[in-house]
Amino acid sequence: MSLLIADNCINCGACLPECPNEAIFENRSGAEATGIRVTEGIGDGDGIYVISYDRCTECVGHFDEPQCTAVCPVDECCIIDPAWPESKEVLLEKAQKLNPDKQIDPAKAWSGVRTGPMAGAA
């Protein structure tokens, strides 16, 4: 799955430099201007940070928990995006493709990540 930034975002920017995949953008129009896709209906307008589902790996392979969630001062702001269910295996593969020069550790995953073949089933 990807994470998303909820409407209660205070635009503090704490999450922006923490993302190992550069999946977080200051606003939807900024992401879309560079060809990055964001879940439909998320971050409408320019007053909220957004996470690209194409680039978010929930920090799997990098950290034991999503870094945006770890540094965000607002509870329940960086949450699971139900539109993009992905298994740990898929997220690890995505992390490796996005970061071919970085060491990706399969043991680095948080307890909320889905596992198994049904994780990506719709």
- 13 CB burial (10 A radius; 0-12, 13-18, 19+): exposed
At 35-48, the pLDDT tens digits run 988 888 777 766 78
Residue 20 forms part of a structural domain: yes
Residue 87 forms part of a structural domain: yes
What single-letter DSSP state applies at residue 9?
-
One-letter amino acid at 39 equals T
Query: In the predicted model, what is the mean pLDDT of residues 53-65?
Result: 95
Residue 12 forms part of a structural domain: yes
Residue 49 forms part of a structural domain: yes
Query: In the predicted model, what is the mean pLDDT of residues 74-91?
Result: 91
What local confidence, expressed as pLDDT, does residue 115 receive? 62
Residue 119 forms part of a structural domain: no
Q: Kindly list the distances between the CA atom of residue 80 and the CA atoms of 35, 76, 101, 102, 108, in Å, as whole numbers in the listed order.
A: 22, 10, 27, 25, 18
Averaged pLDDT score across all residues of the chain: 87
Strand partners, 79: 4
- Of 65-69, 75-79, 110-114, give the lowest mean pLDDT range: 110-114
Kindly report the CATH number assigned to the domain that includes residue 73.
3.30.70.20
Range of the domain at 86: 2-98
**Is the pLDDT reported for residue 1 higher than 80?**
no
Number of domains in the chain: 1
Q: Tell me the percentage of the chain whose pLDDT exceeds 70.
A: 91
Residue 107 forms part of a structural domain: no
Residue 117 forms part of a structural domain: no
Residue 23 forms part of a structural domain: yes
